[in-house]
Amino acid sequence: MAQILVAEDEPTVRAFIARALDMCGHQTSVAEDGQRALEVLADRDFDLLLSDIVMPEVDGVTLALKATQNWPEMRILLMSGYAPERQRAHNLDALAHAVLAKPFDLATLRQSVDAALAGRDAKALREASTLQ
Which domains does the chain show, CATH number per domain?
3-124 (3.40.50.2300)
Q: What is the pLDDT of residue 99?
A: 83
pLDDT for residue 130 is more than 50:
no
CB within 8 Å of 67: residues ≥ 6 apart: 38, 41, 49, 74, 76
CB within 8 Å of 116: residues ≥ 6 apart: 48, 75, 76, 77, 97, 98, 122, 125
The region of weakest confidence among 27-36, 57-66, 69-78, 113-122 is 113-122
pLDDT in tens, 37-91: 999 999 999 999 999 998 888 998 899 989 989 998 999 999 987 555 545 555 5
pLDDT category at 123 given cuts 50, 70, 90 is very low
pLDDT for residue 122 is more than 90:
no
Q: What is the pLDDT of residue 91?
A: 54
More confidently predicted of 55 and 127? 55
